Chain A
């Protein structure tokens, strides 16, 4: 491998002229990489500013940064190759590439956050949260029906998934052995990979067969579809948390003559409750943004509907989707509502994540010392 190339770099070569410090010879100065990066960015920025002024278009910051980083990769490689040799040069090039990969991932994140906030704020007003879309054509209207529907359906899904998921996790950690445990673990993993739209189709097929209505739409079906997606996440996270409970606690409880189920309820669960709640919150945050299954089984409507078991029910992600896809005559009003809905959705997800972190900070058992 490339390790064997090293001897060629022995001090025989390029020993012309006095060397101030033999230990730092053949190395770039300490902050050279940083200065080269700044220099490259400055060059590309200047280039694009001139281009922007010359062609009277906007300044393209993404292209400037991107080309600046590419230029940096080339310059640092050449520089390092001349001063430090091929191996060091390759190392520096990879460092540049890896850091670039990270910055590339940040670009869409920043862009999504910025556009959602910038486009969502105009309609993020009181009317948006206090009115439904009933009889609204063009501007005005709100997403109260969608927010209500999202809360009801997601709440119902949580009501189904949390007991099932938690009990399954308890089975896997406390009781399970043999083939059944192995099978459940494997299929929970497989279930994580079910596409969300297939979960929606499943709920539809289930209720269409049971009710005999070939065009069935109802909120409860949406809750069932979301549960299919949510249960494996709850099982996984709760299982991890239950495994963290030290065996000494269980054994101490058994030694006092406490039955197994009371040990689980009174000792194991309270110890791990913070982690379990965090996991549940994150699971809810994951399914609350699901669109496809709700589009299929819960459908869409413009009116309020509080009944999970009858009629179409709007949800926030579907609201965003339908507002964008079925634009009326006043296009801007529909797009504004879609973005405001997207902003609301992101805020809800962010809030759930924050609550999860706070819960895990506040209620996790205090470790001694």
Chain B
């Protein structure tokens, strides 16, 4: 290889076609930034009246906006956290199964099967949750309150329909499984093969190899995948709107018929009939949801970005 001595840069001839095309691409790229800014600006503009609204404008017995949105924020985070708690261990298990346990030839097909879950529209999951899952788990809930009712989470009285926040969290967990699985699988497959072989050569069993080589390498990946799943669970609307029997309460009990609802579901249920200031209030809650998911997603992306620098895989 010979490198030419620093020659004066030859300026390419600027043709009109080039200029039009490159401008078009820059404009489209900037359009994305503009859109994101517009989302924030328009939501704020429509939300402002809600912060100074009269106490009578709020449904229920909330005095001001923050009292109104409080239980909703709690419900949103609580449902998403429960879903995450269930989804992450299973997702890691599936990702390990596909990347390290399943026969090589089957692995890709099994990956597709899990991706199929992501293709099911949320409204279908809602329909399934309310007609199949809720009745199926209700007897189980009843025995849970009978045996473990002393534990605050499972306190009675049990819901007779099974339409509780735990059922919602189960459906949400199923919905965020594919995204967490797909991302963790990618990270697990990037584990340096030399590390794995070194562990095996030292006599480690397969589980010890995973514990020593794969999991430490994949930890940041698992964390960011979980955060992205959390972001999705926070914003999921239809399942919560259809399955949950809502109430404006802050309660950790997961098996009762009085459940805290989520911001998104509250908007979907009330928006069609809302008018005047009611619309502004719902948009303001949407703004809060936007801020929460934005924070979670940016944190996740930040972890991914930081990891890229030292992984060597990219």
Is A209 a contact partner of B231 (Cβ separation < 8 A)? no
Residues of A within 8 A of B (CB): 1-3, 6, 87-88, 90-91, 94-95, 97-102, 104-106, 108-109, 111-112, 115-116, 119, 163-165, 167-168, 170-172, 174-176, 180-181, 183-184, 186-199, 201-202, 204-206, 208-209, 214-215, 228, 231-232, 235, 259-262, 264-265, 285-286, 288-292, 295-296, 299-300, 317, 320-321, 324-325, 335, 338-339, 342, 345-346, 349-350, 353
> Helix, strand, loop or mixed for chain B's interface?
helix
Residues of B within 8 A of A (CB): 12, 15, 17-18, 20-22, 24-33, 35-36, 38-39, 42-43, 45-46, 89-94, 96-98, 101-102, 110, 113-114, 116-117, 119-128, 130-132, 174, 177, 181, 202-208, 210-212, 228, 231-232, 234-238, 242, 264, 267-268, 271-272, 275-276, 279, 282-283, 286, 289-290, 293-294, 296-298, 300-301, 305
Q: How far is the CA of A187 from the CA of B301 in the complex (A)?
A: 10
Q: Are A168 and B205 also in contact (CB < 8 A) when A115-B128, A214-B276 are? A: no
Is A186 a contact partner of B123 (Cβ separation < 8 A)? no
Is A205 a contact partner of B124 (Cβ separation < 8 A)? no
Q: How far is the CA of A278 from the CA of B312 in the complex (A)?
A: 29
Chain A nearest Cβ from B105, distance in angstroms: 16
Residues of B contacting A101 with CB < 8 Å?
89-94, 97
Instruction: Select A164's contact among B31, B36, B305, beta carbons within 8 Å.
Output: B31
Residues of A contacting B122 with CB < 8 Å?
289-292
Q: Are A98 and B97 also in contact (CB < 8 A) when A171-B28, A194-B290, A261-B18 are? A: yes
Q: Are A98 and B32 also in contact (CB < 8 A) when A108-B117, A189-B301, A291-B121 are? A: no
Nearest B residue (CB) for A349? B119
Nearest B residue (CB) for A84? B205
Chain A nearest Cβ from B119, distance in angstroms: 5
Instruction: Select A163's contact among B17, B28, B29, B293, beta carbons within 8 Å.
Output: B28
Instruction: Select B22's contact among A175, A215, A350, beta carbons within 8 Å.
Output: A175
Is B17 a contact partner of A262 (Cβ separation < 8 A)? yes
Name 17 interchain pairs, CB-CB below 8 A, sorted by A.
A3-B203, A6-B203, A94-B210, A99-B101, A111-B132, A115-B132, A164-B31, A184-B33, A193-B300, A198-B39, A198-B289, A201-B46, A204-B283, A214-B276, A291-B121, A335-B131, A346-B120
Chain B nearest Cβ from A92, distance in angstroms: 9
Residues of A contacting B211 with CB < 8 Å?
1
Across chains A and B, the number of contacting residue pairs, with CB separation under 8 Å, is: 279
Closest 6 CB pairs of A and B: A195-B235, A289-B121, A101-B93, A193-B297, A171-B25, A167-B28
Is A195 a contact partner of B25 (Cβ separation < 8 A)? no
Is B43 a contact partner of A115 (Cβ separation < 8 A)? no
Is A317 a contact partner of B116 (Cβ separation < 8 A)? no
Residues of B contacting A324 with CB < 8 Å?
127, 130, 242
Is B116 a contact partner of A209 (Cβ separation < 8 A)? no
Residues of B contacting A345 with CB < 8 Å?
121, 123-124
Q: How far is the CA of A90 from the CA of B204 in the complex (A)?
A: 12
Residues of B contacting A90 with CB < 8 Å?
205, 207
Chain A nearest Cβ from B109, distance in angstroms: 12
Residues of A contacting B204 with CB < 8 Å?
3
Q: How far is the CA of A89 from the CA of B96 in the complex (A)?
A: 18
Is B237 a contact partner of A95 (Cβ separation < 8 A)? no
Q: How far is the CA of A109 from the CA of B264 in the complex (A)?
A: 25
Is A198 a contact partner of B25 (Cβ separation < 8 A)? no
Residues of A contacting B212 with CB < 8 Å?
1
Residues of B contacting A205 with CB < 8 Å?
42-43, 45-46, 283
